[in-house]
Amino acid sequence: MTNELLIGVIGAGGRGAVAHYAHNPQDGVRLVAGADTDPAALERFRGVLGADTFVTADYRELLARPEIGAVFVATPDHLHEEHAVAALKAGKHVYLEKPMAITVTGCDRILRTAMECGRRLYVGHNMRHMTVIQKMKEIIDSGRIGEVKAGWCRHFIAYGGDAYFKDWHADRARSTSLLLQKGAHDIDILHWLCGGFSRRVTAVGGLTVYDRITDRHDPSERGFAGWSDANWPPLSQTGLNPVMDVEDISMMLMELDNGVFASYQQCHYTPDAWRNYTVIGTEGRIENLGDNPGECMVALWNKRGAYKPQGDEQFPIAAVGGSHGGADPAIVAEFVRFAREGGATTTSPIAARNSVAAGYCAAHSLRNGSVPVDVPPVDAKVAEYFAG
């Protein structure tokens, strides 16, 4: 078959499951190999794809297979730099999960490697494929709120104790901070909706609840990061990670390079789970009310008045199939097309780098008396390469 694409997955368990959306033998796209240090994850991977699937505990063996044209990297954050650089150097196109890396220098090394190797790099910022976010972008681009001046995001993470304080996420050596780890999504969306990148940030925050829990799992165990409604209130959580030095609440302010001001607030112990964005322009304001397609809408306020909970106009968001509100099948389809043919994409490696850079600098601000931190811009040559 012409234009056949064979794909390997590094980090085949956990989030690596997203790669299965790419497996479409009728279209010439097949997942053929998985690497994971967890034998059970490899067993499940082979169980889904068939006994002839190549599996290995050593990702280098996967990269050494010349028939593999593209690789998904879905390992924990602190391994992204090593795995993405190795995959690009091995000549593979790469789908790299967000955040791109846990440091700015790590991101810049990945960008430079992709440029030098001439391989296609795609970062999994699936929120850009969420229909509720796309509706907000469409309304902004249509000019209905005038010139954008401010963007705010409140992020309520009901599953914070389950998903982020039981394993590597809680350890800053492996994640830098949750402002970067989790916030990379939202910083990227704020940059996208507001049309600029952070040039200066400041932040406050702390570890305010989960550090009071003394029930920790053994350092030799991974920790069970599954969601349970029974884990409520947050202080009733058990089996938390023995290393815990990231914040469970953080708030950052951003000054963008186009003069827009933005803010992002993240809390890991709310009872409810959703993100609430508002973007304010010179002629109106939009806000998402809920974020689950089929139940949520974007509201537009563009007439003067007092409290109008539903706005002046409503844009309901229809139900859609697939994980993360349909964003996962959509982003994987875009990556497959990009790996095969190139062309424009909704996500951007430079934007992915800049969301990490803003989160990284905000974590530094937060841990150093909220000092304002200038976000280092990406190297001009690298920016030019990716713009092209």
Ligand X SMILES: NC(=O)c1ccc[n+]([C@@H]2O[C@H](COP(=O)([O-])OP(=O)(O)OC[C@H]3O[C@@H](n4cnc5c(N)ncnc54)[C@H](O)[C@@H]3O)[C@@H](O)[C@H]2O)c1
| 358 binding ligand X? (CB under 6 A) | no
- The pair of structure tokens assigned to 207 is 């570890």
Please say which residue, 15 or 144, places its beta carbon nearer to ligand X. Answer: 15
- Alpha-carbon radius of gyration of the chain: 21
Q: How far is the CB of 30 from ligand X (least distance, A)?
A: 20
| 223 binding ligand X? (CB under 6 A) | no
The interface mask with ligand X, positions 149-178, x = CB under 6 A, is ------------------x-----------
CA distance 60 to 233: 44
| 199 binding ligand X? (CB under 6 A) | no
Residue from 7, 36, 199, 207 in contact with ligand X (CB under 6 A)? 36
> Would you call 346 exposed, middle or buried from its count of C-beta atoms within 10 A (0-12, 13-18, 19+)?
middle
| 79 binding ligand X? (CB under 6 A) | yes
| 37 binding ligand X? (CB under 6 A) | yes
Backbone φ and ψ for 31, nearest 5 degrees, come out as -80, 120
Instruction: Report the Cα 141 to chain-centroid distance in Å.
Output: 23
| 217 binding ligand X? (CB under 6 A) | no
Q: How far is the CB of 122 from ligand X (least distance, A)?
A: 12
The interface mask with ligand X, positions 317-336, x = CB under 6 A, is -------x------------
Q: Among candidates 91, 70, 51, 100, which has minimal Cα distance to 10?
A: 70
Residue from 33, 55, 77, 349 in contact with ligand X (CB under 6 A)? 77
| 41 binding ligand X? (CB under 6 A) | yes
Please say which residue, 9 or 362, places its beta carbon nearer to ligand X. Answer: 9
| 76 binding ligand X? (CB under 6 A) | yes
Residue from 20, 98, 155, 340 in contact with ligand X (CB under 6 A)? 98
Question: Which residue's CB comes closest to ligand X?
Answer: 14
Q: How far is the CB of 227 from ligand X (least distance, A)?
A: 12
Q: How far is the CB of 167 from ligand X (least distance, A)?
A: 6
Q: For residues 59, 64, 67 and 72, what is the CA-based torsion angle, rounded to 10 degrees? A: 30
Residues 104-143 that bind ligand X (CB under 6 A): 124, 126
Q: Which stretch binds ligand X (CB under 6 A): 69-77, 236-244, 245-253, 296-304?
A: 69-77
Q: How far is the CB of 312 from ligand X (least distance, A)?
A: 32
Residue from 75, 266, 347, 354 in contact with ligand X (CB under 6 A)? 75
| 59 binding ligand X? (CB under 6 A) | yes
| 74 binding ligand X? (CB under 6 A) | yes
Residues 7-26 that bind ligand X (CB under 6 A): 10-11, 13-16
Q: What amino acid occupies position 265?
A: Q
Please say which residue, 74 or 209, places its beta carbon nearer to ligand X. Answer: 74
Q: Which residues, at least 6 apart from 341, have a Cβ–Cβ distance to it below 8 Å? A: none
Please say which residue, 79 or 193, places its beta carbon nearer to ligand X. Answer: 79
Backbone φ and ψ for 55, nearest 5 degrees, come out as -130, 150
| 289 binding ligand X? (CB under 6 A) | no
The interface mask with ligand X, positions 240-259, x = CB under 6 A, is --------------------
Please say which residue, 76 or 326, places its beta carbon nearer to ligand X. Answer: 76
The residues that touch ligand X, with contacts defined as CB under 6 A, are 10-11, 13-16, 35-38, 41, 59, 74-77, 79, 97-98, 124, 126, 167, 324
